[in-house]
Amino acid sequence: MAKIAFFEIDEYQKDYFKKNIQDHELIFEAEALEPDKEYENSQLFEAEILSIFAFSQVNREVLEKFPNLKFVTTRSAGFDHIDLDYCREKGIVVSNVPAYGMHSVAEHTFALILALSQKIVPSVERTREGDFSLDGLRGFELYGKTLGIVGTGRIGSVVAEIGLGLGMKVIAYNRHVDDALLEKGVEFMSLEELLPKSDVVSLHLPYNKETHHIINSENISKFKKGSILVNNARGGLLETQAILDGLNNGYISAVGLDVLEEEPAMREEAELLSVKYLEKNDLKTQLLDHILLNRKEVLITPHNAFNSDEAVQQIMDTTAGNIKSYLDGNPQNRVGE
């Protein structure tokens, strides 16, 4: 029987793991694992298996407190909070949750696109006030329009398939051509070619030095007049001033954002599920001060695209699977080797 210590654990997660990992000793701690923090239950450090989340700092100093540790599984895709060099040195296996929320983000992308193209928000607001007039509420069909996808990774590929299913022409910009999408009719081209051809531009790139402000004040004027811009990826992909310039000059007609440039840096969306994130970052003040919130042609959601029942369940299911596979002698989703 293995002793398994869980850190940063909520009640609903506790009930799940009790039900799905039986015949082993499970120890739960609500707080993150940190070098200088004291924990009431000293048995935590007798664990052979450690399950953590994004805010636990599993450095050498922390790992040395676990003399029996053989396996660390983080309930996140990122693993830069774990000292992989020390783990390799001590033969400690490390696993992660490589992907979650792929379909949730893709569907949220189209929720924003459809809300903007069909004037859903102003329609609802007007009827709630008892006004059923149609003046100013004329939208446009997506069928036959061109969807430009910037980044065709896991999420961008799903967005492409949804667009094709709606009868849109789909074009894409990506570092590498995706042969599977190419066979389905997606046309790959440069960003400079894509922008003026797209009725809707949707961003699905990771954020790094190369992608910082990939949409900026210089290329916003290249957009097709009246087009829609959507960003459900990372706030830093978009230069905020470029959005305002685009709207003010008519280069774009509407914008859907689930992320903002002002958001604090984060490794991944799963961190937003933690109470600790809310304690560290006051997004409300930043958002209230932002001029974009007051623009009627802008829809902003609170970085919620990933947050579905299925995505959260996938995180827990993958973690339970990681633990079981380790116990069976065949660990999965290994990282840092």
Which residue(s) pair with 228 in the sheet? 200, 254
Q: Which of 75, 108, 204, 234 is catalytic?
A: 234
CA distances from 121 to 198, 289, 292 (A): 23, 22, 16
Q: Is 279 exposed, middle or buried (0-12, 13-18, 19+ CB in 10 A)?
A: exposed
Q: Determine whether 334 is an active site residue.
A: no
Q: Determine whether 204 is an active site residue.
A: no
Tokens of 79: 């693993």
Cβ within 8 Å of residue 329, ≥6 positions away: none
Q: What is the DSSP pairing of strand 298-300 with strand 49-52?
A: unpaired
Q: Which of 31, 107, 193, 263 is catalytic?
A: 263
Which residue(s) pair with 94 in the sheet? 72
3-state secondary structure of 201: strand
Q: Determine whether 192 is an active site residue.
A: no
Which residue(s) pair with 50 in the sheet? 5, 72
Task: Cite the active site residues.
Answer: 234, 263, 303
